[in-house]
Amino acid sequence: MTPAKSRFAPGTLGHAVDQGAADLAAAGIDTARLDARLLTAHVLGRDASFVLTHPETELTTAQQDAAQNLIARRAAHEPVSRILGEREFWSLTFRVTAATLTPRPETETLVEDALARIRAMDREGEVLRILDLGTGTGCLLLAVLSELPRAEGLGIDISPDAVAVAADNAQRLSLGARARFQVGDWTAGLSGPFDVILSNPPYIAEADRGTLPPEVLGFDPHGALFAGSEGLDAYAAIAPQAAKILAPGGIVILELGQGQEAAVAEIFRRAGLIPDGTRADLAGIPRSFAAIAGGG
């Protein structure tokens, strides 16, 4: 590949970023320059702002080689979060591994929805019991606990490796005293009652497998992505189980795939729960679905 033109001298931080951005753009990466900044800064143990303010910094040969290696991985469509081993969610930093989904901005909609509902009921000061099904990194549960100082939570995942990552994230965020994580198949073996159930379940239809970007299909665990021919299998499994372990008046809040709100509402209605609307993400897509247990 022809070296990228750069206004910075070879061997400098600015030159490395310019070259990396050009390589990533050639590989079809939409966020080429941002990603080049993040990856090159990571090699130096700095944040991305350092790249902007100190472009004339001289890199050692080892640092140049390390930056080129990270750029090559990103050019192969490995997500930045996988390369760095972490991702920000709800202004908190979460460790991610091959066993977990990478937390995504649209999933913050569930945190917003849960907190808004809890505050509307004037329950944010209570000792609420929160359950997170398919916890992955633990991002949903830990984000909510970070805002509710008296709440306690349990995260469940079928993957022992994911459970270990979530438990580590809880300790890193100083939330380990109020969050537990264990291996399980949805609610099997749990008796409740829980005041809030959260979940970002798999919801992609098998037929849509080929439409996913390589950053998702090639790196996220497929068990956390796909849910049968219509993408509804996980909802169908969770709904009747949630109905059994929710406290009266308790709420279940789940992430939706695009266009799934009507089908998911019907699944939860049939399970005896009361659908209570959706909340849209920043793109205007209904992303968070809520249902309420009767008797509250």
Segment 64-105, tens digit of pLDDT: 999 999 999 999 999 999 999 999 999 999 999 999 999 999
Per-residue pLDDT band at 296 (split at 50, 70, 90):
low
Q: Which residues pair with 204 in a beta bridge?
A: 226
In this predicted structure, the answer to whether residue 3 has a pLDDT above a threshold of 60 is: no
* pLDDT tens column, 152-186: 999 999 999 999 999 999 999 999 999 999 999 99
pTM, two decimals, is 0.90
pLDDT of residue 2: 45
In this predicted structure, the answer to whether residue 1 has a pLDDT above a threshold of 70 is: no
Of 224, 282, 289, 215, whose CA–CA distance to 259 is shortest? 289
Joined together, the tokens standing for residue 186 give 């949805």
In the chain, what are the domains? 13-76 (1.10.8.10), 87-292 (3.40.50.150)
